[in-house]
A and B are shown apart, each in its own frame.
Chain A
Amino acid sequence: MRPLLLKGHERPLTQLKFNPEGDLLFTTAKDTRPTVWWASTGERLGTYDGHTGAVWSCDVFWDSTRLLTGSADNTARLWDVQTGRELFRWSLRSSVRSVGVAPGCRLMHLANSKLLGQESCIHLFRLKSDGNWQEQETEPFLVLRGHTATITGVVWYNTAEYMLSVSEDGTVRKWDVETGKEVDRAKRHKKAITDIKFSKDHQMFLTGSADGTAVLWDTHAMQEIRSFVLDRPLNAVDLSPLMPHAVVGGGQEASQVTTTAGKAGKFAATFLHLIYGEEIFSVKGHFGPINCLSFTPDGRGFASGGEDGYVRLHHFDEEYYRRSSEI
């Protein structure tokens, strides 16, 4: 593979998101500029200028017209994807760590960090998607409290009935969106959970943790199906929509990185086979820990964003399909 290297960010990447068709790639980093790229050529399409702090998270609407970003400047902003114009701004009392739009685009969530004496909780807002986008409700209609440390990831179930959140306290919690109650909770990781991703059909999800384990869960039973033990803290996970594969990535924490770690292969994106429970292959390239990973929506490639400020966009060679079928 000859990956495309997207060097638009000056600071470590925080999140990657493909739009549903897979032709646009949205990236956020600890600089103030969320960026959108053409996924086929890696060409930079535009930047969303306005944030004054690190941008932690983004989500794109199903029709790729609006983008939601959350930043350490304590705001979340709504953007027009095509022009880069800011449409609306929500303010919280600490940095916005995770944002997301529910399927259907009627609801959205913002999760804030446990900082400045604030509790880390999920704020649910109604979105007015019919008319004027610039008039949104500034107050949440529900606040989901319970996590004892910063929430690092929130995903919506595909019917928007409930949502799952993971946190640095090591728990996965399931929330009922109607009532705002925590309906289930599971703790399997010993350290902070750093990422959560649903499988394409939402029947399983994968979590990755700083303790070096990745766990595949049954969504409804909230029970572990399989666990993978790796030799490094994990920052990012994703599940392939095409193959029974998962990709995980991470590396030593930025403050502890030594010059030998790169050679030791700790910064590689590692692919796991969900059925055999084996590590199948790895792809190297980053000079620092991997912070975010995402398969393309068709599963024919993946993107990785690193602490080194690069996004590497891979399109799988024919070899991937051939050897995967031989396994």
Chain B
Amino acid sequence: MSLRVATVEPTTSEDAWDETENDSPDAVASLGRALTTQLDKGGGGLPPPRVSEPDADGIVTIVDYYVNDEGYVVQRTRRVRRRLERRRVCAAVAERRRCWRKFGVAATENANTTTQANEDIPIEWNTRNTEVSDDEESGEAVPSLGAAPSSASGGGGGGSGSGEDLMTNKSIVVCRICGRVGDHWTLRCPYKGLQGAADGLGLPGSAASTAPDGILGATGAVGAPSAGSGGSMAASATSSGATRYVPPSMRSGASARLREGDSLYGRREENSIRISNLTEGATEDDLRQLLEPFGRVVRIYLARDKYTGAPKGFAFAAFAERSAAERCIAKLNGFGYDHLILSVEWARPSGDRANAASSVNPGA
């Protein structure tokens, strides 16, 4: 008797549309881990499926048997959480959902053809907007991802795009982030990601027109001192007057910094903080927004429930600099966030926690 155990990836929980349906096990999308154990080959009739009572978490264990392609009888154990979700739909949809049965290949299939992605697929927001406008002005033919607005009349091509016209008239284009009039769309604001930092650092809002040079100049200054070891990319970036944002990886000295990056993993442990008493609705994105004003955030980990994926109410975050973490703790500990009061402290390595627990126990 050969024994083989395969792990089937957890899939989505069922959105049941009606209380009366989905009583048959095969209509239930499984949630959690399912173990497939291969039993003896051949054999007579299949044992009947067993369905356990729901446990404390509402998880039902279903054990059933089927014959696979190689003629083996396979025992399949699935842990399923059934969740009833009520939705208002139009009558035709409800009728279909209630009455239609599977047909074709779907009626006989055993394997899960549908799974849910294990990891979160993030929406990758596009942030490279400032360069595009510069290039358009200087008339370079850049195969940018953005569009070249063209006139609908068909006759006029060239640079007389509708957006540009609006900007030169200085009429209605007001950036909602930095407040400049007629310079750029809100979408293209160079301070889009810096809003929190700007608030925290007290940049003068009224003198916004001078701010860009200040900030962009600063990035140039960061790059300049370590110049010399950098590649030609970095050299050209600094020589072009530091008017453009240069990503850290392309700045001079980037290679040296990348080498430091190897030790980043070891270093960030000590700059980690633990944030507890978070609301269930908080996401990584929210946390990033909350923490970024204090300094560069290297890592954010939001603890989630293994089965439901709902946040557990605490998170870890690591800053690049210790001072930033200190400031964050000083500021955010006891800070009211959503409807709860945050507790922020230094994260202890897991080893320490275990020691602490064992040292407490004898005393108690």
Contact = CB atoms under 8 A, between A and B. Distances in A.
Interface string B85-107: 00001101100110010111111
Interface stretch (A39-47, A95-103, A256-264): A39-47
B149 interface: yes
Interface in A235-285: 268, 270, 272-273, 276-285
Given A21-B93, A268-B124, A7 B150 contact: no
Contact of A44 (B15, B102, B122, B147): B102
B102 A278 contact: no
B104 A49 contact: yes
B174 to A, nearest CB: 14
- Counting contact residues on chain A (CB < 8 A from B), the size range is 35 or more
Interface stretch (B113-121, B259-267, B310-318, B320-328): B113-121
A258 to B, nearest CB: 20
Interface hub of A7, A21, A43, A283 (most chain B Cβ within 10 A): A43
B146 A45 contact: no
Interface string B138-164: 000001111111101110000000010
A297 to B, nearest CB: 11
A276 B15 CA distance: 37
Contacts of B119: 2
Main secondary structure of the interface of B (DSSP, over half): loop
Nearest to B14: A41
Contact of B126 (A40, A49, A280): A280
B284 to A, nearest CB: 10
A81 to B, nearest CB: 9
B114 A41 contact: yes
Q: How large is the interface on B (under 10, 10 to 19, 20 to 34, 35 or more residues)?
A: 35 or more
A282 B126 contact: yes
Contacts of B309: 2
A38 B187 CA distance: 37
B66 interface: no
Interface string A197-218: 0000000000000000000001
Given A227-B148, A320-B123, A6 B117 contact: no
A7 B116 CA distance: 11
Contacts of B187: 273, 276, 278, 327
Contact of B152 (A38, A49, A83, A225): A225
A1 B124 CA distance: 11
Given A21-B90, A47-B104, A278 B147 contact: yes
Contact of B106 (A4, A23, A45, A284): A45
A23 to B, nearest CB: 5
A283 B109 contact: no
A229 B144 contact: yes
A299 interface: no
Contacts of A314: 121
B107 A46 contact: yes
Interface in A269-314: 270, 272-273, 276-285, 312, 314
Given A23-B96, A281-B124, A284-B121, A44 B114 contact: yes
B346 interface: no
B29 interface: yes
A319 B285 CA distance: 9
A283 B29 contact: no
A44 B146 CA distance: 38
A187 interface: no
B186 interface: yes
B117 A285 contact: yes
9 nearest CB pairs, A to B: A47-B104, A277-B147, A46-B103, A42-B114, A44-B106, A84-B103, A46-B104, A47-B105, A279-B145
Given A42-B114, A47-B106, 11 more contacts: A2-B120, A2-B121, A5-B117, A7-B113, A44-B105, A46-B104, A46-B105, A229-B144, A276-B185, A279-B146, A281-B126
